[in-house]
Amino acid sequence: MDEVLPWLLEDSRAVRSAPVGRLWVRLVDVGRALAGRSYAVPLDVVLEVRDAFCPWNAGRHRLRGDGAAVCEPTTAPADLRLDVAEPGAAFLGGTTLAALGEAGRVEELRPGVLARTSAAFRGDREPWYPGGWAFPLY
């Protein structure tokens, strides 16, 4: 957990923390959402997205980012295959696509692209929601 509070105390082990899942992201416009954020490292990846609820999201999206990002529909072969929930989970930079891949939720179709894409989605700090973490002091 990327939190500064324990390091501000004389005894950082005095803090007990527990994550509480209260922040969920659901992308209703995959192309616009992915083009609207920044990326930690340059990337060029084709995502094959499944979305049963918002069918306009389903299909292949080419995501390029080096500075300003661009995400547009494509017919190019997919590098990663995933449900819309996975880019939503990784969107804020906390959950990694690599972890989702290990859980079988992201299929890597081109070797090495999952690790690079996962690194690109990471942020400098973990996402934080004011009601999302509890820090009881013991």
- Predicted confidence at residue 19, as pLDDT, reads 61
Pairing of strands 80-83, 106-108: antiparallel
Structure tokens at 56: 């306009």
Which sequence spans correspond to the domains of the chain?
23-124
Task: Tell me the CATH number for domain 23-124.
Answer: 3.30.1050.10
- Predicted confidence at residue 14, as pLDDT, reads 77
Q: What is the pTM of this model?
A: 0.79
How far apart are alpha carbons 89 and 118 in whole angstroms? 12
Q: Per DSSP, what are the bridge partners of residue 7?
A: none
Output the DSSP codes for 68-101.
EEEEEE--SPPSEEEETHHHHHHTTSSS-HHHHH
How far apart are alpha carbons 42 and 38 in whole angstroms? 10
- Predicted confidence at residue 73, as pLDDT, reads 97
- Predicted confidence at residue 55, as pLDDT, reads 96
CA angle 22, 28, 33 (to 5 degrees): 90
- Predicted confidence at residue 6, as pLDDT, reads 72
- Predicted confidence at residue 138, as pLDDT, reads 39
> Mean pLDDT, 10 residues at a time, over the chain (138 residues)?
68 72 83 94 97 96 91 98 95 89 96 96 74 47
How far apart are alpha carbons 93 and 118 in whole angstroms? 9
